[in-house]
Amino acid sequence: MSGVPRPLNPSPRLLMGPGPVDVDPRVLRAMSMPMLGQFDPEFTRFMGETMAAYRQVFRTANRWTFLIDGTARAGIEAALASLIEPGDTVLVPIFGRFGHLLAEIAGRSGGRVETIEAEWGTVFEPGRAIEAMRRLRPKLVACVHGDTSTTLAQPLAEIGQACREIDAILYADATASLGGMDIRVDEWRVDVMTAGLQKCLSGPPGSAPITFNDRAETRIVRRKHIEAGIRPEGAQNGPGRRIQSNYFDLAMLMDYWSEARLNHHTEATSMLYAAHECARVVLEEGLDAVFARHARVSRGLTAGLRAMGLELFGDQRHKMPNVTGVVIPKDVDGEGVRGMMLADFGIEIGTSFGPLRGRIWRIGTMGYGASPRNVLLCLGALEASLRAKGFRAPAGAGVDAALAAFANKAAA
């Protein structure tokens, strides 16, 4: 087929899956701002402002806090490829789909990967992970903070302390939790953390915030090898093995984002504008207010789901406030319900992966989409779709329970 493609005209949707989510209109406006050259003083000022803003979002004093051009997975790959030298022992505690992803990328980076696994729907008791760390003495521990596949979040503070005791680097993937949960990089002793814009930060996929401390910097800089053609006169290579990826080479990216302004790549201008505005909007609302809003919306959603006779998935002590797992009732066509919600109501909710595929739905209440209005619309559509597929949800019970939860100021 040839000819001019039709103009893009996406159908309006309410995205209430595990991500991506609806983009805040302020972020969309920021992305329409004019282009600037990557070394224009105005643009480099925006780069500096973005670094400073994400230090606040990550709650860190790390100098090295910037953006990786690419989706959240680009941030993961930049971190692991730059930290892992071939033969390094890497421990990956796995409690969902994205732990397997970390193990995959660590292995491709040359690491000797050791894994421990928890049943999907649970997280690790810190003692179990710490015992494995002390036994294996890894150079790096790679852990997901919030795993949307199971809707649970892994406590990190005790793991971070144990990593210091054995001189291991702790990397954490906060793609699903940054901007929706109270993350404290420095307090938890997380050495490296990455995220993405497309979940609680209310942006589009395509930029991955990263932060790392001096401990990680030392390991990265020893592998520094600047490519020919942009290498400053007199520059010396580090003693370590060259980082396998050029694009995701954190040693060169540090020079790009520093005053050195190494011409490593052309920054994704519109995505930097988006990331800048995502952080600005979160900080304008206030971190504590943002976390409280996510928690309140989660309480309303879970109250409504339970009132409809639905079972929540997983250990609720460790549930993320921004995504909720729902057990698909026996004899209900889970994909049929999702399809009806999308086709008749324009609302998207998610399924899951691996052993949970076809067993749970995942409902996201993230960032700009974390509002009582969206919860009420979703519950109404879910009830109607369930009833159409033969599940006798009590009429109106879900919406009524959510309204009551939202009205309960004592729980706010």
CA dist., res. 360 & res. 121, Å (int): 11
pLDDT of 93 > 60? The answer is: yes
> Which tens digits make up the pLDDT trace of 158-173?
999 999 999 999 999 9
For the chain, what are the domain ranges?
A: 25-283, 287-411
- pLDDT surpasses 70 at 1: no
Kindly write down the DSSP assignment for every residue of 223-291, as one continuous string.
Answer: T--PPTTTPPTT----SSPPPS-STT-HHHHHHHHSTT----S---HHHHHHHHHHHHHHHHH-HHHHH
Span 108-124, average pLDDT: 97
**pLDDT tens digits, one per residue of 185-232:** 999 999 999 999 999 999 999 999 999 999 999 999 999 999 999 898
Q: What is the pLDDT of residue 412?
A: 52
By the 10 Å C-beta count (0-12 exposed, 13-18 middle, 19+ buried), 375 is classed as buried
Residue 411 has pLDDT above 80, yes or no: no
Q: How many CA atoms lie within 13 A of 78 on its CB side?
A: 29
pLDDT of residue 2: 78
Cα torsion for 100, 101, 105, 106, to the nearest 10°?
-40
pLDDT at 177 over 70: yes
410 pLDDT more than 60: no
Are residues 89 and 138 in contact, defined by beta-carbon separation less than 8 angstroms?
Answer: yes
- Evaluate if residue 28 carries a pLDDT over 90: yes
Q: Is the pLDDT of residue 234 over 90?
A: no
Q: How far is CA 54 from CA 67, 202, 338, in A?
A: 9, 14, 35
| pTM for the full predicted model | 0.96
Round to whole Å and give the CA distance between 188 and 177: 15
| CATH class of the domain at 25-283 | alpha beta
Q: Is the pLDDT of residue 108 over 90?
A: yes
CA-CA distance, 178 to 211, in Å (whole number)?
12
Q: How many CB atoms lie within 10 A of CB 355?
A: 14
The 10s digit of each residue's pLDDT in 333-354 is: 999 999 999 999 999 999 998 9
Q: What CA–CA distance (Å, rounded) separates 137 from 285?
A: 42
Residue 233 confidence (pLDDT): 87
379 close to 372: Cβ distance less than 8 angstroms? no
Q: What is d(CA 60, CA 186) in angstroms, rounded to the nearest whole number?
A: 5
136-145, 201-210, 255-264: which has the minimum mean pLDDT? 255-264
User: How many C-beta neighbours within 10 Å does residue 237 have?
Assistant: 13
- Element housing 192 (H / E): strand 192-194
Q: How far apart are CA 325 and CA 297, in angstroms?
A: 14
Mean pLDDT rounded to a whole number for the chain: 96
Per-residue tokens: 357:
């595929």
The mean pLDDT of 174-193, rounded to a whole number, is 98
Q: Is 287-411 in CATH node 3.90.1150.10?
A: yes
First to last CA, the chain: 56
Looking at the DSSP bridge assignments, the partners of residue 140 are: 90, 169
Angle at 396 between CA 395 and CA 402, to 5 degrees: 145
Nearest to 268 by CA among 258, 276, 280, 278: 276
DSSP-derived secondary structure letter, 394: P
